[in-house]
Chain A
Amino acid sequence: MTQLSATHITAGYQHEAILRELTLALPEGQLSVLIGSNGCGKSTLLKTLARLLAPWNGEVVLDGADIHRQPTQAVARTLSLLPQQPVAPEGLRVRELVALGRHPHQSWLSQWSERDEACVDDALARTDLLTLADRPVDSLSGGQRQRAWIAMAVAQDTPLMLLDEPTSFLDLTHQLEVLDLLKALNRDAGKTIVMVLHDLNLACRYADHMVALKHGRIHAQGTPDDVVTEVNVREVFELDCRVIADPFFGVPLCIPFGRAPSS
Chain B
Amino acid sequence: MPESRALRLGRWSRRFSPSPWRNALGTLLLCSLAGIGALMLGAIPLSPPAFLHALVQPDSHAGLIVLQLRAPRVLLALLCGGALAVSGWLFQQVMRNALASPDTLGVTAGASAAAVAYLSYLAADWGMSGLPIAAMAGALAVIAVVYRLAWHRGTTPLRLILMGIGMAALCGAITTFILVSSPLSTTLSAYVWLTGSVYGANWTEVGQLALCCTGLALVLVALLRHALLAPLDDGLATGLGVKVQRTRALLTLVASLMAGVAIAWGGAMAFVGLVAPHIARQITPSPGAAQLITSAALGATLVILSDLLGRTLFTPLDLPAGIFVAAIGTPFFLTLLLRQAR
Given A83-B233, A110-B11, A112-B7, 14 additional A-B pairs, CB 8 A: A52-B239, A74-B241, A79-B239, A82-B239, A91-B285, A99-B15, A103-B240, A111-B14, A112-B14, A112-B15, A114-B8, A114-B13, A117-B6, A156-B240
> Does B180 count as interface, using CB distance less than 8 angstroms?
no
Distance A163 CA – B316 CA, assembled complex (angstroms): 67
Across the interface, A100 reaches (CB within 8 A) one of B13, B232, B281, namely B232
- The residue among A99, A100, A114 with the most chain B CB atoms within 10 A of its own CB is A100
Distance A101 CA – B231 CA, assembled complex (angstroms): 14
Distance A104 CA – B240 CA, assembled complex (angstroms): 6
Check B13 against A103 for contact (C-beta < 8 Å): no
- 1/0 per residue, CB under 8 A from B, across A118-160: the answer is 0000000000000000101000000000000000010010000
How distant is A99 from chain B, measured CB to nearest CB, in Å?
A: 7
For B6, the chain A residues whose CB sits under 8 A away are: 112, 114, 117
Check B225 against A86 for contact (C-beta < 8 Å): no
B residues contacting A by CB (< 8 A) are 1-2, 4, 6-8, 11-15, 96, 98, 222, 225, 228-229, 231-236, 238-243, 281, 285-287
Check A83 against B287 for contact (C-beta < 8 Å): no
Enumerate 6 A-B pairs (CB-CB under 8 Å) in ascending A order: A50-B239, A73-B241, A81-B235, A100-B229, A112-B15, A116-B13
How distant is A62 from chain B, measured CB to nearest CB, in Å?
A: 13
For A72, the chain B residues whose CB sits under 8 A away are: 238, 241-243
Across the interface, B13 reaches (CB within 8 A) one of A76, A89, A104, A112, namely A112
How distant is A155 from chain B, measured CB to nearest CB, in Å?
A: 10
For A109, the chain B residues whose CB sits under 8 A away are: 11-13
Nearest B residue to A120 via CB reads B15
Check B2 against A134 for contact (C-beta < 8 Å): yes
For B225, the chain A residues whose CB sits under 8 A away are: 103, 106, 108, 111
A residues contacting B by CB (< 8 A) are 47, 50-52, 72-77, 79-83, 86-87, 89-93, 95-96, 99-101, 103-104, 106, 108-114, 116-117, 134, 136, 153, 156
Check B239 against A47 for contact (C-beta < 8 Å): no
For B236, the chain A residues whose CB sits under 8 A away are: 81-83, 86
Check A90 against B15 for contact (C-beta < 8 Å): no
Distance A192 CA – B238 CA, assembled complex (angstroms): 19
How distant is B106 from chain A, measured CB to nearest CB, in Å?
A: 24
Nearest B residue to A96 via CB reads B286
Check B287 against A91 for contact (C-beta < 8 Å): yes
Distance A110 CA – B243 CA, assembled complex (angstroms): 19
For A117, the chain B residues whose CB sits under 8 A away are: 6
Q: Given A75-B241, A76-B240, A91-B285: A83 and B11 within 8 A (CB)?
A: no
Check A90 against B13 for contact (C-beta < 8 Å): no
For B98, the chain A residues whose CB sits under 8 A away are: 90
For B235, the chain A residues whose CB sits under 8 A away are: 47, 50, 52, 81, 83, 86
Q: Given A111-B13, A134-B2: A81 and B239 within 8 A (CB)?
A: yes
